Structure 1
C-alpha cells in the first residue's frame, strides 16, 4: 500500500498519519475532551500520561510492523479525527478491527461512515483482508448509526470487552467479509444498496442504556 496516496470521497479524505500531525491531533483531543471521554480507551492499571507525539510514533511502528494502519480523517483539508485499523491478522484469519474518533465540530457531516467505508474497501482490496470488524458500546448511538448506514452485520454481544472511560465495558460487534461487498462498501452505500436491517440487535442482546 502506498502510504502517500490518500483516499477521498467528496470533501472527506483518509490518509496515513504523519509525525507532524501530532500537534494538531493533540489540540483536537484536548478541545474535545468532554465529547470524547465517554468513548476513550483507558488502562485498567490506572491513569497514564498521554503524549500524541509518542502515540503517533507507536502507531507508525505498528504500521511498519504490519499490525495496524493509522489514518487521519480530513474534511476539506482540515484534520477532523482519526481512524485506526488495528489487530491486523494474516494467514487463515485475515481480519482486522476499525476504531475511530471525530471532533465534535465535524459531527453530522458523514465523515465517519465515509472514512469507515474507504478504510474497509482499502483493507479488502489492497491489503487482501477477508473480515473487518467494528465494536461499539451500546450507548454510542452515533456509531451504531454508522454501521447501520454501511450495512455491517450484527454478530454478537461481548461482555466487559474493552476498558473505556475507566471501566470494562460491554460492546456490540459488527462485521463484513469481502464476499458481502464485491462492489465495495462505499459504492454500495452511495448507491443506496446497503441494508441497515442486518445491523439490528436482537432483543435478547439489547442492554439498558
Structure 2
C-alpha cells in the first residue's frame, strides 16, 4: 500500500508524519524519556525495546506492515525530536474495511490538545486516504484523558472487554470505542 502522508502541523509546534527508516534513534530516545510515563499504559517491554537497535527492528516491522497494507505508522515530532506515535494497525479489507487506532504522547505535551488534533488527522487519513469504514480503539477504564481524546473525535463507547490486553504485566479490562467513518 502506498499512502503518502504530508507532514501535518497538529499544534504546539508538533508535526504528524509517516514513520521513516531513520527514526529508530529518535524513537529509542522518546521511549526511554517516557518510560515511566508510559509504563502504566503499555505492555511490559524488554530492555532491548528502549535501544536504537530494538527500535530499528520495530521500525522495520512497521514499515513492512505498511507496505503490506496492514498498518499506517506515524510519529509526532517537534523540533526534530520524536514526541509520540499514532498508528492504525490490523487494517482489514473486505467486508470490514476497518483498523485499530493506538497512540501515545510525550509527557511534556499532555493536556495541550496535540493528541486530539493528531487523532483527528489519523481519522481523516483513515477515511479519505485508506477508504476505511470503521476505526476502533480501546483504553484502560481509568484512562480518562485517552477516553476524552476519543470522544472529542466522535468515537462512541461500544463495550467493555474483561481482561482484554496484557498491560503493565497483567491482563486488564478495557473500554471499547469505535468511530464509523462512512454512513
TM-score under structure 2 normalisation? Answer: 0.89
Q: Using the alignment, how far apart are the partners of 1:153 and 1:12 within structure 2? A: 27
Structure 2, gaps ≥5 residues long: none
**What is residue 20 of structure 1 aligned with on the other side?**
22
Residues 1:8 and 2:13 aligned together: no
CA distance in 2, matches of 1:42, 1:93: 31
Between the two proteins, the alignment pairs up a number of residues equal to 177
**8 Å contact 1:3–1:15 — kept in the other structure?**
no
C-alpha displacement at 1:6, in angstroms? 2.2
Asked whether 1:131 is paired with 2:147, we answer no
Determine helix, strand or coil for the equivalent of 1:39: coil
Q: Deviations over 1:142-174 (max 9, x none)?
A: 101111222211100011111111111111011
Provide the C-alpha distance between the structure 2 equivalents of 1:76 and 1:174, rounded to a whole number of angstroms: 32
Aligned partner of 1:157 in structure 2 is 160
Say which of 76, 92, 111 aligns to 1:108. 111
Q: Does 1:65 align with 2:68?
A: yes
CA distance in 2, matches of 1:86, 1:3: 17
Cα distance in 1 for residues equivalent to 2:56 and 2:80: 21
| Structure ranking higher in strand proportion | 2
Gaps of 5+ in 1: 181-209
Does structure 1 residue 176 correspond to structure 2 residue 142?
Answer: no
